[in-house]
Amino acid sequence: MKPRIRPDDLTNAPYQEGIQHLTRQWVRAGLPDLGLTETDFTFTIRTLLLTTQDMDRTTAIVQAVLAQAIALQKTSAWVDQELKFEGMIEGVDRADFLLLDLQQADNLDDAMLDSYNERINRFAAQRE
């Protein structure tokens, strides 16, 4: 059994280097930051790592969200929101959760359907 990653572990190798690398990727993406700072990026990535408990999975999520943000011309605030979303649904069935989210909506609109499609297709290229 793999030991759990704890908050204190994040300041040591290999986690610190992995977090710094992902933070630099986010900064280099050049997305509009809308007031978010590099410190905010690092905090979100650290939280995601504590949730996934896996540096490789965290890296895959961050890179997929960043690639999608660049392709869809989104902001760093969107990336931040989507990384938090990914952390929230880690460990549950993605399709079921997204479908439930749509079913619970009072009124479906284009923005909700766009968000559903973005989220359901985020890892499509990796599955092919």
Q: Where are the domains of the chain?
A: 10-91, 92-122
Q: In the prediction, which pLDDT does 128 show? A: 60
Contact 21, 62 (CB under 8 A): no
pLDDT single digits (tens) 5-25? 999 999 999 999 999 999 999
Distance CA 114, CA 5 (A): 34
Q: Which tokens is 128 given?
A: 């092919």
What pTM was computed for the model? 0.84
User: What residue spans of 29-109 are helical by DSSP H?
Assistant: 38-52, 55-72, 76-89, 94-103
> Is residue 4 packed enough to be buried (19+ CB in 10 Å), middle (13-18) or exposed (0-12)?
exposed
Q: Which of 106, 52, 44, 113 is nearest to 80 (CA)?
A: 44
Query: For residue 127, is pLDDT > 70?
Result: no
Q: In the prediction, which pLDDT does 126 show? A: 67
Please provide the average confidence, as pLDDT, over all residues in the chain: 92
